């Protein structure tokens, strides 16, 4: 089957690129070895960042510059004003909140405007605060940063291109035929259901598979050392909790970032990241849950956590390697032969990555309309479950008023 492009990885980056190239007239298919979004996308908190949290030091950082246009772009897509049309993506919240536990100077209210961000925070009156922040001391600011459901977003994009998305088994059902390292002549796929073989002959191969990029690069004779992983250990809390989406900051540091959703049984689930998740990589799950309870008690006074159940999950942020291992400022794209490798760095930057890769792609060379008939019987991947909906997830309650030494993981 002749193609312009084969994309590996069905997360935010791969699906957005699939949309972009398809609309540009490319004959393109996307291959996914797991569930769509498994790994980073579905594990994300779904915040459409505008960069303000990266400017709390008062400086316009490179990260803030790269991300500042994204809320407007995503907002237009969610309203159906631009492509891709994301009107079926579920919106968890129209905004996020920013607060600090003790003193929150008025400078944050004008920070975004002063340093040129599109997202500008606005201090709100006490009666406008969400219930979870009713007893927070000091200023609470509202940010026009929307929060989406990542699984809904994945389903929205994937449903528009089901005839171009295939399920594969990288370990036993994928073979590259190379002309030289980084020069793919064809791919041989074996169906994970019936063993049928399919040969794809693309002009271009794109890896947007997150952590999977390392193995794929090795399979085509390229180095995997160009990728780094920065781990997180996220916390989940479920129970009779008030809705909340926002960041508690401590100087230039995001102490905790909390987003919420409703599970299938009507319980509110908090997804808790920020510095807590960074520090939590060194902790065992129960110890991290204890620390999370302590942090929530501190940053959200009078929040009732007595009957809350807890869980944690780990996720690797796979990115192009930086000299010091720090967070990259923006997207990263590497080209070798006819292979392109991309990392969006953050969910919100998936459109920029797609734009960059599309701009480097050759013009479509197949003049006929895309015919999905040769792949019509091929299995399709499902959308990954949200972390708190995973069937094997273990939840537990913490002992009341117990002071337990924090155990470091071996």
Tens of pLDDT, residue by residue, the chain (410 residues): 999 999 999 999 999 999 999 999 999 999 999 999 999 999 999 999 876 655 554 444 555 566 778 889 999 999 999 999 999 999 999 999 999 865 444 345 434 434 444 556 788 999 999 999 998 888 898 988 999 999 999 999 999 999 999 999 999 999 999 999 999 999 999 999 898 999 999 999 999 999 999 999 999 999 999 999 999 999 999 999 999 999 998 876 789 999 999 999 999 999 999 999 999 999 999 999 999 999 999 999 889 999 999 999 999 999 999 988 888 888 899 999 999 999 998 899 999 999 999 999 888 888 888 999 999 999 999 999 999 999 999 999 999 865 444 444 44
Q: Where are the beta strands (DSSP E) in 240-281?
A: 246-250, 253-262, 268-273
The span from the CA of 354 to the CA of 216, in Å, is 19
Q: At what angle do helices 150-159 and 12-23 cross, to 10 degrees?
A: 30
3-class DSSP assignment, residue 210: helix
CA separation (Å) from 103 to 100, 115, 138? 6, 22, 6
CB 312 within 8 A of CB 282: no
* Lookup: tokens for 26: 């490319």
CB 50 within 8 A of CB 118: yes
The whole-number pLDDT of residue 296 equals 96
User: Which among 64, 99, 83, 111 is positioned nearest to 16, based on CA atoms?
Assistant: 83
The whole-number pLDDT of residue 253 equals 76
The whole-number pLDDT of residue 107 equals 44
Domain 2-41+153-226+322-375 sits in which CATH superfamily?
Answer: FAD/NAD(P)-binding domain (3.50.50.60)
The span from the CA of 110 to the CA of 157, in Å, is 36
CA separation (Å) from 69 to 75, 93, 180, 395? 10, 19, 39, 38
pTM of the model: 0.91
The whole-number pLDDT of residue 204 equals 97
The span from the CA of 260 to the CA of 158, in Å, is 24
Residues 6+ apart with CB under 8 A from 97: 129, 130, 133, 140, 141, 142, 143, 244, 245, 246, 247
Helix (H) or strand (E) holding 2: strand 2-8
CB 364 within 8 A of CB 27: yes
The span from the CA of 2 to the CA of 366, in Å, is 8
């Amino acid at each position: 089957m002749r193609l312009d492009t084969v994309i590996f990885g069905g997360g935010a980056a791969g699906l957005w690129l699939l949309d972009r190239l398809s609309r540009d007239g490319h004959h393109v298919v996307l291959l996914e070895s797991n569930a769509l979004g498994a790994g980073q996308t579905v594990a994300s908190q779904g915040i459409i960042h505008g960069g303000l949290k990266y400017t709390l030091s008062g400086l316009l950082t490179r990260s803030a510059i790269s991300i500042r246009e994204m809320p407007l772009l995503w907002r237009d897509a969610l309203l159906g004003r631009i492509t891709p049309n994301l009107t079926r993506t579920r919106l968890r919240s129209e905004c996020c909140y920013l607060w600090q536990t003790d003193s929150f100077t008025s400078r944050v209210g004008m920070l975004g405007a002063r340093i040129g961000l599109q997202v500008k925070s606005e201090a709100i009156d006490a009666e406008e605060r969400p219930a979870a922040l009713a007893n927070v001391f000091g200023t609470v600011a509202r940010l026009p940063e929307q929060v989406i459901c990542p699984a809904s977003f994945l389903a929205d994009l994937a449903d528009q291109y089901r005839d171009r998305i295939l399920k594969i088994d990288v370990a036993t059902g994928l073979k590259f035929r190379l002309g030289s390292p980084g020069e793919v002549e064809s791919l041989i796929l074996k169906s994970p259901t019936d063993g049928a073989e399919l040969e794809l002959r693309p002009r271009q191969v794109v890896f947007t598979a997150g952590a999977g990029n390392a193995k794929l690069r090795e399979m085509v004779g390229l180095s995997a050392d160009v990728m780094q992983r920065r781990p997180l250990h996220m916390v989940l809390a479920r129970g009779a909790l008030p809705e909340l989406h926002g960041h508690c900051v401590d100087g230039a540091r995001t102490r905790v970032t909390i987003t919420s959703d409703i599970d299938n049984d009507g319980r509110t689930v908090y997804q808790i990241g920020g510095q807590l998740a960074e520090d939590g990589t060194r902790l065992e799950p129960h110890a991290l849950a204890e620390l999370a309870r302590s942090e929530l008690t501190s940053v959200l006074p009078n929040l009732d956590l007595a009957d809350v159940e807890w869980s944690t999950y780990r996720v690797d942020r796979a990115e192009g390697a930086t000299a010091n291992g720090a967070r990259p400022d923006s997207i990263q794209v590497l080209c070798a032969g006819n292979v392109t490798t991309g990392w969006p760095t953050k969910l919100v930057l998936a459109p920029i990555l797609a734009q960059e890769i599309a701009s480097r792609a050759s013009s479509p060379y197949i003049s006929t309309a895309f015919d999905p008939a040769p792949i019509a019987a091929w299995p399709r991947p499902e959308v990954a479950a949200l972390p708190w909906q995973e069937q094997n997830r273990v939840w537990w309650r913490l002992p009341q008023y117990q002071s337990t030494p924090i155990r470091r993981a071996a």
